[in-house]
Structure 1
């Protein structure tokens, strides 16, 4: 079951930017389905689906998939006689739960000692994370991801695609590096008239994508890993905060077609690769089709020379233990009438070919952030994602949280301050969502410096030049270590 989440944590044990799935009823009405064919989609797919009682909503030829709607409760059973279908399942909508939280009562005292944008020329002193993985900015002398021409325009040497909530197109630290984008939210999504299906509507409505973008390519009062990298926005969440696999998959495919060099996916969740039930044993479902389409889309990107970076997730789980994951899902979603049986996996993080990133923190070389998922065969590298600081780690006392240990990045200028501070245009956040774009930025700068490298070579370089933290060598917390663009660039010269 695909539990897509924004991987940015703010309140312990409760995602401020979180999603949950609405389960299908026992007898679905106008339910959407995901279908994966074993090979190519047949030429008569429309007739095949119609005879089974469905209507095709979207064709995904690059991954041999369909999104289909049906009001026939026997639709899945009817598909069983159709040759060539490898898997089909109910498409579960993932919803962004954008809670209103009192910053004092629910999240400790918000940070108020960082100057507003009109009171400072630079936020560099507050960017502990970027300072560390650029060797205090020394990497900028080696590669910034682009060059400034004689007339002042930036020529981007590499592009990073950000599949997220969109980007603030007018943010002063980002706008010169935004090279375009696309929305994959269909018209009238969730019955919302403001969703027109306009592919050019990729303005950020939640803030998460803008925060991610700043870590990659901010160039102003904040500095990203590659201040001259190009960035493209792919919006996959509706104005009401909903998405599905069949919106995410085409975004991945389109980014590859747009010839981006790197994709960042600061989203993730779990797919039940066997089955789950809703309310009673008679109604069994599986997300195997979703998992197949995800895997095919990511392979499509890698085959098109795109390095894909993903967040490991924020559930504090050992991703190598499927029993633990299934238990977590039953504990978390059991009260909705859902019961999971068999194995589940984190997606897209445990998908072959991607770089999966855990979250390190500012204060420890031995511990990752308390929320970060981990796993010896699941984590490739770590990157700074922030946490609540050492005193909270020692005591577990939420009243002793220090939000200064979060990571500072850009935030939509037209939105009110995020709950962790009083800043406008910038925000403090923590999560593997904040770790993943650091590695995506590193991959982008590497590609700018040596465009001939393949995704496998980029991954190998990032791992080889990572700073070894935790146990010596590769370990379950940090993978190969904490990624570092300065050591990667200097390592390329040896």
Structure 2
């Protein structure tokens, strides 16, 4: 099986959540004078070096975005030799054509409008949210100090959702919506036009007919995906950096992609710049005291090494963003199994959280045996919807980080301490000790809040 080609072609029969792929910023056969966007990462990681503007101007570049605290810029140029000229400079660490991250359409199996739910007077949490019950032990964690997200210090504990936005008018979310910022050109409103970000936010902090892991946590929308489902790597890095500067407590990034280091349209150097910038952004947030959580991806592949992820293709493929300091999450099912679509890999998975699947009788090859009740229900714009994916698993870990912080008080724990508690309190469910599917185990909010 050629894994790399399968990833880019959409090998799964279902598009499960917003697992993303990198699309080349340059097209085969383009005229040499076409303007392209580039990422320039300088050797200084904390500021832009003296003379960088003259360097870029001489090479025919125009700066569009300064990521000054990351030592990087986004530039456009129609000079076909732009990269070659810039890379000669001693102040430049890496430079590349900028990719776009394209979010796949999430699979929504069913939606319920507000009116439909009101007419039935349904308690959606009690009837349908097996995933929230699994993590909270049927709400037991809400009775422990910090368990709902109310902070010991009295401060709001804020989870930033870097995603498609949040429907802040949703009745289950509006009381816990802190604020929103958009990084999408032409779209100043951080309101969700897709549904993915609202579903993620509901898993974290819904309080109504549906519930989140921390129903008194606050969520902030850092919108990076527009209605077309595209985002630049620079906008995601800027959102992460801004969230850190805003003193949020946790960041959830239910997004990611794959960088193939032997794509014929690229060289290895063409991708390293983006990897460097993402690493700097994640490290910047963690140094500022932010716990960063990311999803593992939905292609059912081993991401433990670049060679394995490339399959029959030559070269190296990397899951991106990739950073040892973030908490990376695989997806489990209602039966505490690894979901059939979830990525896995030794050294790449920290913990597992419920992300939903289609039941024990489902055959991914034939599509037979599907049971939608094994999916995850949460808020979507206009009502409620089912989804599944590592994108649905990651926010449960982000919310768990939030309630752990709430127990001790804002700014009392550093990210490594929060991560330590999450990993050490997880339920060991597969091989004894660490394993490639669940990492340190399935998250458990009760054990985490009782951990000493």
Normalised TM-score (structure 1): 0.82
Do the aligned partners of residues 288 and 11 (structure 1) sit closer, same or farther apart at CA in structure 2, a change above 3 Å counting? closer
**TM-superposed deviation, 1:46:** 1.9
Check if 1:322 corresponds to 2:306: yes
Match of 1:61 among 61, 68, 86: 68
Match of 2:318 among 342, 345, 357: 345
**TM-superposed deviation, 1:11:** 6.4
Distance 1:464 1:28 in 2: 55
Partner of 2:430: 470
Tell me how large the CA RMSD over aligned residues is: 2.6
Partner of 1:213: 201
Distance 1:396 1:246 in 2: 37
Match of 2:216 among 228, 237, 250: 228
**TM-superposed deviation, 1:387:** 0.5
**TM-superposed deviation, 1:23:** 4.4
Partner of 1:145: 149
SS in 2 for 1:226: coil
Query: 1:85-122 CA deviation, whole Å, 9 max, x = no partner?
Result: 010110122233549x9x9xxx7xx588x993212252
SS in 1 for 2:391: helix
Normalised TM-score (structure 2): 0.89
Partner of 2:116: 116
SS in 1 for 2:442: coil
Q: Equivalences for 1:65-464 in 2 at 5 Å?
A: 65-98=72-105, 116-118=116-118, 119-124=120-125, 125-142=127-144, 143-146=147-150, 157-187=156-186, 195=187, 198=188, 201-272=189-260, 274-278=261-265, 286-327=270-311, 342-348=315-321, 350-363=322-335, 365=336, 367-393=337-363, 396-413=365-382, 425-451=383-409, 452-464=412-424
SS in 2 for 1:146: coil
8 Å contact 2:111–2:385 — kept in the other structure?
no
SS in 1 for 2:300: coil
8 Å contact 1:277–1:285 — kept in the other structure?
no
SS in 2 for 1:319: coil
SS in 1 for 2:160: strand
Distance 2:84 2:400 in 1: 47
Distance 1:28 1:323 in 2: 35
Structure 1, unpaired ranges of 5+: 4-8, 149-154, 188-194, 331-340, 414-424
Query: 1:313-354 CA deviation, whole Å, 9 max, x = no partner?
Result: 1111111131122237x5xxxxxxxxxx53222122x31210
Q: Which stretch has the larger CA shift, 396-405 or 310-319?
A: 396-405
**TM-superposed deviation, 1:13:** 5.2
Do the aligned partners of residues 10 and 132 (structure 1) sit closer, same or farther apart at CA in structure 2, a change above 3 Å counting? farther
Partner of 2:7: none
How many positions carry a matched residue from both structures? 431
SS in 2 for 1:62: helix
Distance 2:116 2:434 in 1: 41
**TM-superposed deviation, 1:447:** 0.4
Distance 2:449 2:268 in 1: 51
8 Å contact 2:351–2:426 — kept in the other structure?
yes
Do the aligned partners of residues 284 and 73 (structure 1) sit closer, same or farther apart at CA in structure 2, a change above 3 Å counting? farther
Structure 2, unpaired ranges of 5+: 5-9
8 Å contact 2:16–2:387 — kept in the other structure?
no
SS in 2 for 1:399: coil
Distance 1:12 1:450 in 2: 44
Distance 1:120 1:209 in 2: 25
Distance 2:88 2:173 in 1: 52
Partner of 1:31: 36
